């Protein structure tokens, strides 16, 4: 509830989604009568959808996707699938491939491609004054800044060992999980000079620290904007599959990432095709980073490509909202 209220502060009411049993769902619909219910990506709740339709609600799935495996499974149970999808009034698919898969189960006139909302790049762009305040706060003068985001063990030590000897840089590192902040700090202070962001905010730190550990959530967007380069982790080990590499790109900061991006294949393809970032191996990281931080022209090309990619996706949110509005007016 707390996180939902922060993110959706204009909402009037928050409830937990009911278990997909008829009696629990009927209880919900005895209390609220929504005109429209919007699901995101891959939520297909049979009983909820059926009862919602009986109560007069329209149902849309936005940023919708369906895997090849799920399509095959739905086709095996065609009667169930027909009943399930007949409750849906509109599907806004992420891409043409997903649109074709959904057309096996629903009238094609009710399906269209509107894009992936995660690509809508609705990120706050900070003013130059705000960015300068952050640089001053972190004692960034003429150094190039690298933000390393969403790290998992043992990525912190692997990445810092590769980058710590690069001259004239400041490294900001943000572990993925808050409970690891102090553990990572204690590990890294054995191999480099490091401060905690929380200590900086209390003015209890060494101003010459090469590395700042970001022990605070929700500020990656800001850090990316004061950085020359971002490195998104979870991709240099084989158990995670990567994280969102488009977030830095959409604030015009080129991104590097590791070889293990199996959970983010779409984003990986987008970044590589647009040449707004690079996949690198740990052993090549220092060389690749130097190639761009030491050469203004090389870095400028990546930044230009980030800007072009951002522009190409800027209408996804508006297109989705327009189609939802049209559905309500039918």
How confident is the model over 223-240, as pLDDT tens digits? 999 999 999 999 999 999
Q: Using pLDDT thresholds of 50, 70 and 90, give the confidence band for residue 330.
A: low
Residue tagged 């939902």 (tokens): 4
Q: Using pLDDT thresholds of 50, 70 and 90, give the confidence band for residue 121.
A: low
Specify the CATH number for the domain of residue 323: 3.40.50.11720
The verdict on residue 5 lying in a domain is no
Instruction: Please check whether residues 177 and 282 belong to one and the same domain.
Output: yes
The CB-side HSE value for 149 (13 A sphere, CA atoms) comes to: 27
Instruction: Please check whether residues 113 and 191 belong to one and the same domain.
Output: no
Specify the CATH number for the domain of residue 244: 3.40.50.2000
Nearest to 91 by CA among 116, 50, 62: 62
The verdict on residue 3 lying in a domain is no
Instruction: Please check whether residues 144 and 92 belong to one and the same domain.
Output: no
Alpha-carbon span 195 to 71, nearest angstrom: 50
Q: Using pLDDT thresholds of 50, 70 and 90, give the confidence band for residue 162.
A: very high
Q: Classify residue 268 by burial, with Cβ atoms within 10 Å: 0-12, 13-18, 19+.
A: buried
Instruction: Please check whether residues 112 and 259 belong to one and the same domain.
Output: no
The verdict on residue 6 lying in a domain is no
* pTM for this entry: 0.74
Q: What is the pLDDT of residue 24?
A: 92
Domains: count for the chain: 2
Task: Tell me what the mean pLDDT of segment 283-309 comes to.
Answer: 97
Q: What is the pLDDT of residue 116?
A: 87
Lowest mean pLDDT among 26-35, 128-137, 286-295, 309-318: 309-318
Task: Tell me what the mean pLDDT of segment 304-328 comes to.
Answer: 89
Name the pairing type of β-strands 144-151 and 111-113. Answer: unpaired
Judged by phi (left if over 0) then psi (alpha if -120 to 50, else beta), residue 121 lies in left
The verdict on residue 2 lying in a domain is no
The verdict on residue 201 lying in a domain is yes
The range of the structural domain enclosing residue 321 comes to: 12-120+315-329
Q: What is the pLDDT of residue 18?
A: 85
Q: Please state, rounded to an integer, the average pLDDT across all residues of the chain.
A: 92
Write out the two tokens for 249.
């790109």
Instruction: Please check whether residues 169 and 305 belong to one and the same domain.
Output: yes
Q: Which alpha helices (DSSP H) does the chain contain, by range? A: 2-7, 22-29, 46-54, 68-76, 78-85, 96-102, 128-137, 155-163, 181-188, 197-201, 220-225, 246-249, 265-274, 285-293, 296-312, 316-329
Q: How far is CA 223 from CA 134, 140, 214, 231, 275, in A?
A: 8, 12, 10, 12, 22
Instruction: Please check whether residues 114 and 139 belong to one and the same domain.
Output: no
Per-residue pLDDT for 245 more than 70?
Answer: yes
Instruction: Please check whether residues 220 and 243 belong to one and the same domain.
Output: yes
Which residues partner with 73 through β-bridges? none
The verdict on residue 7 lying in a domain is no
Task: Give pLDDT tens digits for 165-191.
Answer: 999 999 999 999 999 999 999 999 999
The verdict on residue 82 lying in a domain is yes
Nearest to 212 by CA among 229, 200, 221: 200
Task: Give pLDDT tens digits for 14-72.
Answer: 888 888 889 999 998 988 889 999 999 888 899 999 999 999 999 999 999 998 999 99
Instruction: Please check whether residues 94 and 186 belong to one and the same domain.
Output: no
Instruction: Please check whether residues 147 and 180 belong to one and the same domain.
Output: yes
The verdict on residue 171 lying in a domain is yes
Alpha-carbon span 108 to 89, nearest angstrom: 11
Q: What is the pLDDT of residue 311?
A: 86
Instruction: Please check whether residues 294 and 182 belong to one and the same domain.
Output: yes
Instruction: Please check whether residues 47 and 138 belong to one and the same domain.
Output: no
What secondary structure letter does DSSP report for 64? Answer: E
Per-residue pLDDT for 207 more than 80?
Answer: no
Instruction: Please check whether residues 250 and 290 belong to one and the same domain.
Output: yes
């Amino acid at each position: 509830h707390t996180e939902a209220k922060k993110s959706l502060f204009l909402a009037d009411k928050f409830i937990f989604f009911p278990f997909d049993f008829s009696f629990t769902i009927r209880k919900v619909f005895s209390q609220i009568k929504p005109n429209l219910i919007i699901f995101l990506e891959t939520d297909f709740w049979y009983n909820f959808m059926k009862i919602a339709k009986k109560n007069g609600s329209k149902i849309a799935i936005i940023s919708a996707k369906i895997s090849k495996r799920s399509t095959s499974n739905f086709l095996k149970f065609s009667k169930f699938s027909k009943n399930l999808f007949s409750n849906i009034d509109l599907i806004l698919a992420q891409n043409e491939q997903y649109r074709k898969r959904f057309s096996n189960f629903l009238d094609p006139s009710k399906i269209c491609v509107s894009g992936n909302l995660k690509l809508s790049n609705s990120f706050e762009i900070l003013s130059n004054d705000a960015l300068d305040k952050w640089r001053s706060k972190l004692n960034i003068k003429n150094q190039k800044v690298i933000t390393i985001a969403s790290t998992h063990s043992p990525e912190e030590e692997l990445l810092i060992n590769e980058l710590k000897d690069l001259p004239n840089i400041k490294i900001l590192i943000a572990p993925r999980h808050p409970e690891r902040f102090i553990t990572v700090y204690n590990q890294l202070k054995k191999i480099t000079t490091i401060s905690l962001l929380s200590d900086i905010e209390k003015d209890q730190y060494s101003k010459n620290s090469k590395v700042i550990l970001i022990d605070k959530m929700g500020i990656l967007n800001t850090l990316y904007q004061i950085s020359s380069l971002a490195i998104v982790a979870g991709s240099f080990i084989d158990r995670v599959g990567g994280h969102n590499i488009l977030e830095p790109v959409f604030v015009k900061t080129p991104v590097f990432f590791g070889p293990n991006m199996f959970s983010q294949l779409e984003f990986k393809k987008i970044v590589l095709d647009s040449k707004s970032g690079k996949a690198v191996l740990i052993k090549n990281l220092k060389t690749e980073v130097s190639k761009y931080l030491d050469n203004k022209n090389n870095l400028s090309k990546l930044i230009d490509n980030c800007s072009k990619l951002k522009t190409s996706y800027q209408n996804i949110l508006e297109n989705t909202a327009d189609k939802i509005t049209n559905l309500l007016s039918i």
